[in-house]
Structures are given as C-alpha cells and as structure tokens.
Amino acid sequence: MAKDRFKREIDYLRISITDKCNLGCTYCMPHMKPKTFKTNEVLTGEEVLRIVRVARDFGVHKVRLTGGEPLLREDIIDLVRGIKAAGVPDLSLTTNGMFLGARARELKEAGLDRLNVSLDTMRPERFKKITGGGELERVTSGIDEAERAGLSPIKLNIVPIRGINDDEVVEFARMTVERPVHVRFIELMPSRRDWDDKKCVKSAEVQERIEAELGKLEKRQFKGRGPSRNFTLDGAKGIIGFISAVSHSFCYDCNRMRVTAVGKIRPCLFNKTEIDLLAPMREGASDKEIRRLFKLALDTKPEGNYLKDPKDNKSIDSMSSIGG
C-alpha cells in the first residue's frame, strides 16, 4: 500500500483519457474555448494500460476513467477490458451520458464495475443551455439502458448552481425514493475565471431544502473511503450523497491521484504541480522509472488545498483535461 508524507493511503487513480468533449458545460469549460491537444499529444491506449499496470503494482485498487468525455474514445471498450485484465478490482467511469445508450452493454461486458453520469437538470431546455447543446432524452435513455445492462446502482452527479438549477434539488432527492440510484450533489468548484462563490449552493443548504420537503436524512456509513457524505430518506431505495469540496475540507482523508489526458500525474486537483509521464514513456523509460515518478508524485502531494483561503482565487485551469 502506497502512503504519502501525511500517512494517507493512496489507492485510487483517476485518469482523464481525453480532453475533448462533445458538450461544453458552463461550469466546466474555461472562459475562453480551451486549447485542445492533438491526438498524438494525448495518452494512447497502450500508455494508459502501462500506467495502470505500474499504478496497480504501486498499490492502486481503484481506477476511474474520465475526461473530457471518455466515451468519445474509440478504444474505450478495449481500454476497459485491458484495465480489468490488469487486475484492477474496482473500475469506474464518469460520463455525460450522451453515448451511453450505444455503449452500456459493451462496457458492462468488458468489465466496467461502476458508472457515474453527470445530470444537472431534468428539464430539456435547461439541459441544452447548461451543457451547450446536450439532449436530455438521450442521456436519460442511456441511463435506463445502463441499468438494464446491470451497471446499477448508477451515481448521478449534480452540480447545483444558484439561479440555474438549484430549484431541482428536491426533485433529484425524491428520485432516490423509488429508484436505487445514488444522487450526489457536488459543490461548484472554481474552474472558471468568473467563478462566484454566491453561485455555489453549499451542501448544508441543499440538505436543509431536502429535509424541509422530504423529511430527515439518515446518515449512512459505507465501506471504502471517498469524499461523499451519504444519507438516505426514510424507506428510500437510493442514496443521497454530498461532495462538499468548497465548504468542507476532506483533504485529511484523500486517497487519490490523477493522470491528465496528456499523461501528467496531478497529485492534487487544486494544485498546479504535475509530473510528466508521457515524455519519459516515449523516450523509453522503464517501469522502474515510471514507478519512481509515481513515488515522486506521492512525495509532492500537498497536505491540503487552498479553497479555504478566500484571498487565493486561483481556479482549476482545465477541468476537462484533468478530469474533475
């Protein structure tokens, strides 16, 4: 098991397998159209698998594929199959769901264990606006198909934004009563230069609104670590989770590192330090050398992030290439 300088066990790797996206969510894409990388600047399938193999030997048990939009990768099914074959017990993927209907069965058959779908609203026009052209119906039928394929329980990621979609938080919570879905409210993080704290609807407020309409939320304990604080409504089939990166620090329990679409290890989402793997790999680095770079990343992982400091208003440069 790999531990960092602060004795945190790091067993979770999130890999952004593309910086490209078919959508352009208002809170994710940078203010200006982001620079997109050329195909040969992004990790190949073989490189992703090599990184996963070294990371697994380093103590990583959980891998999440993200992006950009990971289902844009033509080799996504081979990647899922290859990562499972490398002996990763817990493989998950985060998607905007637009291509899920067509891919859900193959993903399940290739060995995908879990799925998160980003879904910020259940209103078609609003969905189009938030995502820059997404079709809600395609996403919801993709989710249904994923459930039929056995990729259940699906986690739905919702970023409540004041005045945009925060009037739907109770509706989303209500969804968990009848369906075994896991609805997760993620606090809006500063990934755009015009980020405004007032737009971020904090978890405490979301919880208050849900409890006022639907009754008390019962705290639930789950095995495994992670930033989500989980609850259930009385008698509900599903779960309500809060990821409160802005209002609560969970750095003391952080178990993850990221690899960006261009092959850089990012020890902390909120810190710009990155360690390049791509150039060394392409220059013939051995697995031992890649392992040394992972160790270096572990040793540079900071103790905490700057989000608590209101004077420091740096934003995450590009959520879509780091992977959120």
DSSP letter for 219, please.
Answer: E
Asked if residue 25 binds ligand SF4 (CB under 6 A), the reply is yes
From the list ligand SF4, ligand SAM, none, partner contacted by residue 157 (C-beta under 5 to 8 A by kind): ligand SAM
Q: Where are the alpha helices (DSSP H) in the chain?
A: 45-57, 76-85, 100-110, 124-131, 136-148, 169-178, 203-214, 278-282, 287-300, 319-322
User: What SS3 state is found at 82?
Assistant: helix
Asked if residue 70 binds ligand SF4 (CB under 6 A), the reply is no
Asked if residue 96 binds ligand SF4 (CB under 6 A), the reply is yes
Contacting residue, 16, 18, 92, 118, with ligand SF4 by CB under 6 A: 118
Start-to-end CA span in the chain (Å)? 24
- Scan for tokens 């697995």, then name that residue: 287
Contacting residue, 34, 67, 82, 142, with ligand SF4 by CB under 6 A: 67
Residues that bind ligand SAM (CB under 6 A): 21, 27-28, 66-67, 69, 94-96, 118, 157, 159, 186, 188-189, 191, 319-320, 323-324
From the list ligand SAM, ligand SF4, none, partner contacted by residue 92 (C-beta under 5 to 8 A by kind): none
Nearer to ligand SAM, 142 or 323 (CB): 323
- What CA–CA distances, in Å, run from 218 to 23, 170, 214, 221, 291? 35, 16, 12, 10, 42
Asked if residue 176 binds ligand SF4 (CB under 6 A), the reply is no
Structure tokens at 65: 């594929």
Asked if residue 322 binds ligand SF4 (CB under 6 A), the reply is no
Asked if residue 69 binds ligand SF4 (CB under 6 A), the reply is yes
- 137: exposed, middle or buried (Cβ count in 10 Å: 0-12, 13-18, 19+): exposed
Nearer to ligand SF4, 10 or 246 (CB): 246
The distance of closest approach from Cβ of residue 322 to ligand SF4 in the complex, given in angstroms and rounded to an integer, is 10
Cα–Cα distance for residue pair 89/102, rounded to 1 Å: 25
Structure tokens at 214: 């639907």
From the list ligand SF4, ligand SAM, none, partner contacted by residue 49 (C-beta under 5 to 8 A by kind): none
Asked if residue 97 binds ligand SF4 (CB under 6 A), the reply is no
**What's CA 165's distance to the chain center, in Å?**
20
Cα–Cα distance for residue pair 135/158, rounded to 1 Å: 16
Instruction: Output Rg (C-alpha) for the chain, integer angstroms.
Output: 19
From the list ligand SF4, ligand SAM, none, partner contacted by residue 189 (C-beta under 5 to 8 A by kind): ligand SAM
Nearer to ligand SF4, 4 or 187 (CB): 187
Interface residue list for ligand SF4 (CB under 6 A): 21, 23-25, 28-29, 67-69, 96, 118, 131, 319-320
